[in-house]
Structure 1
Amino acid sequence: MSVRPGKRSRSLLATGALTAGLLGGALATAPSASAWTYLGHCSGGQMISYSATSFQWIKVPAVRYDGLNNMRCWMDYGSTGNGVKVLQLTLKTCYGRSIAVDGDFGPATRDALKYAQKYEGISVDGQYGEQTFWNLKWARYKPDGTRNGCAYNTL
């Protein structure tokens, strides 16, 4: 099992900040449930740089919003389209699930997503959203467009 760079450091940073606040006598309050504002259903895909030091890209689901692709989107059972295909590709190639890459979020895609969520230690609900975006491995590509394994989004 590979260790995801950045996952532990974010957790340690949050723990340290909470501890410092409590030791300093400050009242610690939980952040809002999510700073992520969903802009719509994931209708396509977007190539993004997954690391500040890499010249390779990962392909993630996205929604077209204000003329630009944006990753703040959702999908669940019954969703269709290119966003679903991007998710299915990563579930098939990065998690070894035997599913069709057909753009139909049916029972096989839901079960494959639940497997990946469990594997990554996040909430297992079979739905795609912020937590899944930040914690799944994604299909990785070289600058020339050829596939080159899988990578976590470390930005």
Structure 2
Amino acid sequence: MSDGTRKTRARSASVVGILLSGLMGGGFAAAPAATAATAPCTRAVTLYNKVTDPTSYKYVPYAAANTSSCYLDRGMSNSGVTALQKNLNSCYGYKLATDGVYGELTESAVVAVQKRVGVKADGDYGPHTRDAMKWANYSLSTGARISCT
């Protein structure tokens, strides 16, 4: 199940539980979701790794809650999508427009990468996809891509 679908289902289950609780006179409350839904990636951040390579950085999708444990899916448009597109181009050889729009081509690229790295190929970017993907390391001094790890 995609991260976006999981979030929608968890929200729906909570709403149904609240409605039923009200109809039944408060006899029971909504059960919490089995796993907390992740937030949408709404921005991109530059991550510096001062321990393993203090001369490089990674540009990754991030949530407003200051975490990279977030999701992106078709129809979204923001700098988090731009970071994903840039990485798909840099590490996987795509030639996506880095326009920040998660459209058909970005979704197709994500599906292909998901198949390649062995995660569920649903076209939605989330923590499992993030952890399995290679990410580009860029030079602090020149901005050039050094490697993908």
**Whose helix fraction is larger, Structure 1's or Structure 2's?**
2
Structure 2 equivalent of residue 117 of structure 1? 114
**What are the ranges of 5 or more consecutive residues in structure 2 without an aligned counterpart?**
1-33
TM-score for the superposition, normalised by structure 2:
0.68
Deviation at 1:93, TM superposition (A): 1.6
Q: What value does the CA root-mean-square deviation take over the aligned residues? A: 2.1
Q: Is the 8 A contact 1:139 1:147 kept in 2?
A: no
Identity of aligned residues (%): 30
Counting only pairs closer than 5 Å after superposition, residues 4-153 of structure 1 correspond to structure 2 as 38=38, 40-49=39-48, 52-55=51-54, 56-65=56-65, 69-144=66-141, 146-152=143-149
Tell me which amino acid in the other structure corresponds to 2:83: V
Deviation at 1:114, TM superposition (A): 0.8
Question: For 1:119, what is the secondary structure of its paired residue?
Answer: helix
Distance in structure 1 (CA, Å) of the matches to 2:102 and 2:118? 22
Deviation at 1:59, TM superposition (A): 1.1
Q: Is the 8 A contact 2:77 2:100 kept in 1?
A: yes
Question: For 1:42, what is the secondary structure of its paired residue?
Answer: strand
